[in-house]
C-alpha cells in the first residue's frame, strides 16, 4: 500500500516517481532522494518504507545537519558506557534501533567526511561497532538518503566521498519543485484545509481568487510553505492577509533571473532552473510592463486601460494587484477596492 499522502501527487511529473517507488519498495536497494526543501522527501521516504516488506518494523530518521560529528556518530551507531565524557551508560544507535526497518539519513550532504567513511564501511560489510566498543554488530537496515545539496559539486570540492555517492545513488529520485507540478496545488490546498479545519475546529474556506493566486505562486518553500499558508488562513479565519502577502511575493518575482526583468538573486547556485518557469516569469514581467505603460498613458483610468488592453475591467484589476502595480492618484477607498476585487 502506498502512503496516502502520495495520492495527492497526481501530476504527470510525479507519476514516474510513484511508479518507481512501487518498483523499488519491495527491494532492499538504497535510494537517494533529491529535491528542494519542502518538496516532500521525507513523505516519499515514508511511502517507500510503508510499501516495503519492512513496513511492520521501524522507520527512523537522522538529520545529519542537526548534530556535530561526534554526536552524530553516537546517534547513528550508539556508544558504550564511558566512550566519551557524559556517556554514563551504553546506548544503542539508530542503526540498531532500525534493525529490519528503514533508516532515513536526511541532509546526507552535511555528513562529516570521517563519518562518511564509517557509513561506507557499514554499507559494504553490513556491520559496525558502537563508539568506544569492540563488539561487531550486524545490521539489516534499508537506507534512504535525502539531500537538497548538489552532491556532485560537493564531490568536486572533496566534501563528499565519491565511493559513498555511488553506493547511495543506486536509485536516484529527483522530486520536482511544486512550481513544476502546479496541477497538484488545488488538491493539496483542499487536503490541508480539511486537516486544519478539523484540527482547529473551524470551517474556513479558500475563495476561488485566492486559489488562483496559490496556483500562480512559485512557492520557493514548496509544499511546506503551501501547508503553512493554508494553516495561517484557517487560524486567521480569512484568506485575505495570506492572499495579499503572496501577491506581494509574486510581484517581487521568483528569485531566478529573467531577461528584461529587474536583476534578482538566484535562490541557490545549485537550484535547478526550469525553462518553463523562466518563460512564465518573462511573460508575467512583459505583462506588468505593458499594463503599467498603458495605465500611465491613460492617467490610470482603468476602464479605458482595460479597453485598450482588450481585457475585462475585472481582469485588469486582478492583474494590477497580481503585478504589484501601485495604484497612483487613487484614494484609499479605491485602493482597497482593487485589493479586495
Ligand atoms: N504529497 C504530500 N501530500 C501532503 N503533504 C505533503 C506531501 N508532501 C509533503 N507534504 C508536507 O509538506 C511538508 C514538507 O514535506 P517533507 O518534510 O517531506 O519535505 P522535505 O523535502 O523533506 O523538506 P526538507 O528538505 O526541508 O527536509 C511536510 O509537512 C509534509 O507533510
Ligand atoms: Mg526533510
Task: Show the domains of the chain with their CATH numbers.
Answer: 4-176 (3.40.50.300), 180-252 (1.10.8.60), 275-341 (1.10.10)
User: Which atom, in ligand 1's list, is nearest to the CA of 46?
Assistant: 18
Alpha-carbon span 63 to 175, nearest angstrom: 19
**Nearest residue by C-alpha to atom 2 in ligand 1:** 5
Question: What's the CA gap between 223 and 268, in Å, rounded?
Answer: 18
Place of cell 484568506: 239
Q: Is the CB of 181 under 6 A from ligand 1?
A: no
Q: Give the residue, by CA position, lying nearest to ligand 1 atom 23.
A: 38
The residue behind cell 518504507 is 49
Ligand 1 centre distance from Cα of residue 37 (Å):
8
* 43 Cβ closer than 6 Å to some ligand 1 atom: yes
pLDDT digits (tens, 9 = 90+) for 231-244: 999 999 999 999 99
CB of 40 closer than 6 angstroms to any ligand 1 atom? yes
Least confident among 111-120, 247-256, 265-274, 315-324 = 265-274
CB-ligand 1 contact for 2 (6 Å cutoff): no
- Give the closest ligand to the alpha carbon of residue 42: 1
| Mean pLDDT within 265-292 | 68
- The residue whose CA has the least distance to atom 31 of ligand 1 is 43
pLDDT higher than 50, residue 330: no
Burial of 230 (0-12, 13-18, 19+ CB in 10 A): buried
User: So what's the pLDDT on residue 336?
Assistant: 38
Residue 35 Cβ inside 6 Å of ligand 1? The answer reads yes
pLDDT on residue 32: 97
Cβ–ligand 1 distance for 304 under 6 Å, the answer no
Q: Which residue among 5, 223, 227, 267 is best mutated to probe the pocket of ligand 1, counting the most ligand atoms within 8 A of its Cβ?
A: 223
**What are the φ/ψ torsions at residue 74 (nearest 5 degrees)?**
-70, -35
Return the SS3 of 257. Answer: coil
pLDDT tens digits, one per residue of 88-129 = 999 999 999 999 999 999 999 999 999 999 999 999 999 999
For the residues 38-51, what does the mean pLDDT come to? Answer: 96
Q: What is the pLDDT of residue 339?
A: 36
Atom 24 of ligand 1, nearest CA residue:
37
Q: What is the CA radius of gyration of the chain?
A: 25
Residue 122 CB coordination number (10 Å): 18
Q: Is 131 in the pocket of ligand 1 (CB under 6 A)?
A: no
Query: In which order are the strands placed within the sheet that holds 31-34?
Result: 59-63, 102-106, 142-147, 31-34, 171-174
User: Which residues have CB atoms below 5 A from the ion given as ligand 2?
Assistant: 41-42
CA 248 / ligand 2 centre spacing (Å): 27
Q: What angle do CA 228, 231, 233 make, to 5 degrees?
A: 115
> What is the band of 274 on the pLDDT scale with cuts at 50, 70, 90?
low
Beta-carbon neighbour count of residue 147 at 10 Å? 23
Q: In which band, very low, low, confident or very high, does the pLDDT at 209 lie, cut at 50, 70 and 90?
A: very high
Give the closest residue (by CA) to ligand 1 atom 13: 224
Q: What angle do CA 27, 62, 269 make, to 5 degrees?
A: 90
Strands, E, within the chain: which ranges?
Answer: 31-34, 59-63, 78-79, 91-92, 102-106, 127-128, 137-138, 142-147, 171-174
Amino acid at each position: 500500500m502506498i502512503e496516502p499522502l502520495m495520492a495527492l501527487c497526481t501530476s504527470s511529473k510525479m507519476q514516474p516517481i510513484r511508479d518507481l517507488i512501487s518498483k523499488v519498495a519491495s527491494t532492499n536497494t538504497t535510494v537517494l532522494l533529491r529535491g528542494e526543501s519542502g518538496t516532500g522527501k521525507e513523505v516519499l521516504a515514508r511511502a517507500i518504507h510503508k510499501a516495503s516488506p519492512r513496513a511492520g518494523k521501524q522507520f527512523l530518521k537522522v538529520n545529519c545537519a542537526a548534530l556535530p560529528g561526534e554526536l552524530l556518530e553516537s546517534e547513528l551507531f550508539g556508544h558504550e558506557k564511558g566512550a566519551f565524557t557524559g556517556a554514563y551508560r551504553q546506548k544503542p544507535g539508530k542503526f540498531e534501533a532500525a534493525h529490519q526497518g528503514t533508516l532515513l539519513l536526511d541532509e546526507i550532504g552535511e555528513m562529516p567526511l570521517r563519518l562518511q567513511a564509517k557509513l561506507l564501511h557499514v554499507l559494504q560489510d553490513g556491520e559496525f561497532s558502537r563508539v568506544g566498543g569492540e563488539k561487531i554488530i550486524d545490521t539489516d537496515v534499508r537506507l534512504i538518503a535525502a539531500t537538497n545539496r548538489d552532491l556532485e559539486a560537493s564531490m568536486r570540492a572533496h566534501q563528499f566521498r565519491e565511493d559513498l555517492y555511488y553506493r547511495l545513488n543506486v536509485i536516484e529520485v529527483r522530486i520536482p519543485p511544486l512550481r513544476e507540478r502546479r496541477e497538484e496545488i488545488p488538491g493539496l490546498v483542499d487536503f490541508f484545509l480539511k486537516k486544519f479545519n478539523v484540527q482547529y475546529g473551524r470551517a474556513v474556506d479558500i475563495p476561488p481568487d485566492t486559489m488562483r493566486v496559490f496556483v500562480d505562486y512559485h512557492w520557493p518553500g514548496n509544499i511546506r510553505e503551501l501547508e503553512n499558508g493554508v494553516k495561517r488562513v484557517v487560524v486567521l479565519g480569512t484568506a485575505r492577509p495570506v492572499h495579499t502577502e503572496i501577491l506581494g511575493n509574486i510581484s517581487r518575482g521568483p528569485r531566478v533571473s529573467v531577461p528584461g526583468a529587474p536583476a534578482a538573486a538566484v535562490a541557490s547556485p545549485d537550484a535547478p532552473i526550469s525553462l518553463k518557469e523562466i518563460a512564465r516569469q518573462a511573460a508575467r514581467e512583459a505583462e506588468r510592463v505593458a499594463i503599467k505603460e498603458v495605465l500611465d498613458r491613460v492617467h490610470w483610468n482603468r476602464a479605458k486601460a482595460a479597453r485598450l488592453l482588450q481585457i475585462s475591467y475585472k481582469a485588469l484589476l486582478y492583474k494590477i494587484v497580481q503585478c504589484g502595480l501601485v495604484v497612483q492618484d487613487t484614494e484609499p477607498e479605491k485602493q482597497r477596492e482593487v485589493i479586495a476585487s
